[in-house]
Amino acid sequence: MLFVGCTMTRESWYWAGLSTVLQTPVGTENSLADVVFDICCSESRYIAGRVALLLWQIWVALNDDI
């Protein structure tokens, strides 16, 4: 999955202090929507908000590279 699988995005999760939030191993059949839903159900609103912001920042960074 692009948002958690490449080196740049994995480092982003680590430096944001959110790498432990990722409970779904990379390479499974889960979609990004499934991962976000799981995070929203299992984490606080604060953590879910930080995850949403990080996903947005990754999206913008990936689009800047195109």
pLDDT value at residue 21:
86
Give per-residue pLDDT as tens, 13-48. 899 999 888 765 555 567 888 888 888 998 999 999
pTM of the model: 0.77
Q: What average pLDDT does range 41-60 have in this prediction?
A: 92
Q: What average pLDDT does range 48-55 have in this prediction?
A: 93
**Residue-wise DSSP of 24-56:** SPTTSS--HHHHHHHHHHHS-HHHHHHHHHHHH
